Amino acid sequence: MGKVKRGGYTIYFWIGDHDPKHVHVLEDGKLIAKVRVSDLSPLRGAVSNRLKKILATLKKEKKI
């Protein structure tokens, strides 16, 4: 399991989790979204432009 905190969000991911590869995004301890890593599209919840930018940066840095 990995955990990254950025911009007020906590982002969790599990290496052995089911497909498609995704991350769980929490804000104030509540799950707000599950986001597919390949194209940053939401599997559950909504993804703001700010969150997309954070996830894109983490993806570029190879943290997710």
**In this structure, what token pair is assigned to residue 23?**
């991350």
The 3-state secondary structure of 14-60, one letter per residue: CCCCCCCCEEEEEECCEEEEEEECCCCCEEEECCCHHHHHHHHHHHH
Q: Residue 10: enclosing H or E segment and its boundaries?
A: strand 9-13
Q: Residue 57: enclosing H or E segment and its boundaries?
A: helix 49-60
Q: What is the pLDDT of residue 17?
A: 84
* Residue 16: domain span: 2-60
The pLDDT tens digits of the residues spanning 1-50 come to: 899 999 999 999 998 888 899 999 999 999 999 999 999 999 999 999 99
Q: What is the pLDDT of residue 16?
A: 82
Query: Count of domains in the chain?
Result: 1
- Give the dihedral sign, CA 24/28/52/62: negative
pTM metric for this prediction: 0.90
